[in-house]
Amino acid sequence: SRTTRSGPALERQQQAEPTSFVGRAHAVVEIGAALGTHRLVTVTGPGGVGKTRLALRAAAQASHRPRHRTAIVELAPLRDQAGLGQVIATVLDVQQRQHRSIDETVLDFLEDRELLLVLDNCEHVIDAVAAFVERLLLRCPQVTLLATSREPLGLPGEYVHVLAPLVSPTPAESDVDRIAVAPAVQLFVDRAASACPGFALGPGNAAAVAEICRRLDGLPLALELAAARLRVLGPAALADRLDQRFQLLGTRRHGTDPRQRNLHDLVEWSYDLLDRREQEVFVQLSVFAGTFEMDAAAEVCLVEGDDDILDVLVALVEKSMVQLTDPDSPRYQLLETLREFGHRRLQDAGTLAAVQRRHLRWYGQVARCGRAGLDGPDEASWSARLDLEVDNFRAAHAFAVSEGNADAASALVADLREQAFRRIRYEVSSWADATLAILADDHPLLPVVLGVSAYGRWVRGDLEAAIERAERAAALEALVDGADPSGVPERVLGNAYFYLGRTDQALEWMDRMVAAAHRSRSPAQLAHATYMRSVAQTSVGDSTRGAALANEAKEASEQTGSLTAVAQAAYALGLALQAAHPAAAIDHLRTSARLAGAAGNRWLEGFALTEVHWLVAQQGDPLSGLRGYADVIDAWYRGGDWANQWLSLRHVFGILIELRAHEPAAVVHGVLAATGAAYALPYEPADARRLSADVVALRELLGPAEFSAATRVGTAMSDGEAVTYVLDQIEQLSGAGSHPTSE
């Protein structure tokens, strides 16, 4: 079975941790053993007990097992239970498929994969998580789940590991050496030494430290918050303050877990000890989903006076109220327990919506700048930055829709569309669908939002709906004052009509796309439009005109400095040279793939590699060409890019015949026949003749009965089954290292 990539959270976990991991070695071993015998393991315990960190450590160790991969889904930023599937899909790098919900798409993808899936911070969306996990356990037999939650999911077969707080010294314990070995004391001393260099446990403070650890029930988060206070209070004074505080507040919530109550009280006490500026900034930071940068905090958080937000953030980090996640950028985040506290404060004060509006305004500005940045020399850095902000963009868009803010919601869709298309992350098309519900018929961004919605349907293979929406969008573009000549509707229609073999209509829409690019006065848009027009011209057999258009695309690209624009021109020229000068074509196409990869444009990189691998196979190395398709096909399948998936499989069919893998070739032919993938771009007339000849020869080699039987197998396959079949064939043929025959 094939496996998924590890998520970014696991990559962060496998790097050096900023603080030591104290007192949990036995728990890591126990969870690792449980994962070997149970398909659902849930780590439960009160907030602040260290569930997340323990799960990440256990997952990192599990990922070292042969063939075992891990994906970590951080649910803390999720506020809407209905968004669970999308968050999981984003981590798995999977996009929604035709006629399937996002949940069904994820389940389809995981059905035959071996994976450890970690769902972190489930408690606030536990109903949705339990329902999804129950279906996953039934559908996906090779997936193991590790969840963290303040309560079990309540499913049959669930192994529940109750994570206890760290052990503290007993009240009778007075020996310094014996106090020092208590895990709670070890953690407190470690964090205290970080906060106050030179701090050490000794006879003068051991009793007070032991009391602090007991008072805080050994909760790691509480111990870290308290240790940060040693900058202004000695251990004895801190122990006295905690005792007084809990005596005062402890009667407020008699029905709650005492440990959770004490943690809340400590968070509240830590908050009360902040100065006014720090309090104001802290609660406003709770609107961020995931991580955020300093400039974002400065724009979203209103503070009286001329205080530098950096000074306030530094103070909050020093007091363990905010985490510094990336010192180079820098980027910050709030732990979920602290985020909940701040969020509740904003709600109680009636100021939550106002802060969310500033959050929306800031991320609308980031998206707008990112759109411009993607068309210039800083494309790669902008693409990376926009990727970091997906959680915040998602939250901002959802808030805009909930408020009926059509201008902001549609602007986010319009400005983020190219990033989404280039990264093969088509979630933006579902944002477009949600935005359409609040857009007036005369809104200037309605045509582009409709176009993005149509694009989502095109890549998923829903051609009828894609054409209907794109034609409506194109018609509105001519009627609505101030409409953005985005070229997106024309792009969809050119591709869709080519796919259906209606080349005259396709070329007409592509000419209109070039005209829209001229109206936009955007060199980057013109480079894209002429590149597509070049590919289309080459595909109808006119490579001379195709090369001329490729040079026009190159001229436009030189005005942008955008790697994507240059890569598009290189691709178009490589395709035009493919028939007459294959060696030069490979060079251009490899350059296109390299530049696209450097720009973060996964779509164009995969598109170029599709042709590179085909030409490598045609130049006498079919096995190397076939191997190259494994990653490309996997990327199209994850992205839900239906059209490019079949384009790549069309080339794989030809290579399988060259390798004399006749029966697998017949199965793939059945797959292609069922999808009608005969005319997807790029497709030269020579390719059509070759494909027809290959099918005739294959029928003769296998015999009519065997050919029909194999073809029927492919015809009956779903796209997921087809992809899995092809990837398995690539793996088998690559391992064999020879040219098998069907006899």
> How confident is the chain (743 residues) per 10-residue block, as mean pLDDT?
38 46 86 93 89 90 68 87 90 85 92 92 92 96 94 94 91 91 94 90 94 88 88 88 62 47 75 90 95 94 79 89 88 88 94 97 98 96 96 96 97 97 93 96 95 93 93 92 90 92 93 95 96 94 95 96 97 94 96 97 95 93 95 90 85 93 95 71 64 87 94 90 92 70 39
Amino acid 610 reads: T
Residues near 575 by beta carbon (within 8 Å), at least 6 away in sequence: 534, 535, 538, 546, 550, 585, 589, 611, 682
How far apart CA 171 and CA 194 sit, in angstroms, is 26
Amino acid 477 reads: E
The reported pTM is: 0.85
Upper half-sphere CA count for residue 586 (Cβ side, 13 Å): 11
Residues near 299 by beta carbon (within 8 Å), at least 6 away in sequence: 358, 361, 362, 365
Q: What is the pLDDT of residue 645?
A: 86
Q: What is the pLDDT of residue 24?
A: 87
Largest pairwise CA distance in the chain: 92
Q: What is the pLDDT of residue 362?
A: 98
How far apart CA 486 and CA 492 sit, in angstroms, is 12
How far apart CA 584 and CA 174 sit, in angstroms, is 80
How far apart CA 482 and CA 407 sit, in angstroms, is 13
Whose CA is closest to 65, among 100, 33, 27, 106? 33
Q: What is the pLDDT of residue 20?
A: 60
How far apart CA 461 and CA 285 sit, in angstroms, is 41
Residue pair 610/628 in contact by the 8 Å Cβ criterion? no
> C-alpha angle with apex 218: 215 to 221, nearest 5 degrees?
105
Q: What is the pLDDT of residue 255?
A: 44
Q: What is the pLDDT of residue 10?
A: 43
Amino acid 133 reads: V
How far apart CA 57 and CA 134 sit, in angstroms, is 25
Q: What is the pLDDT of residue 156?
A: 93
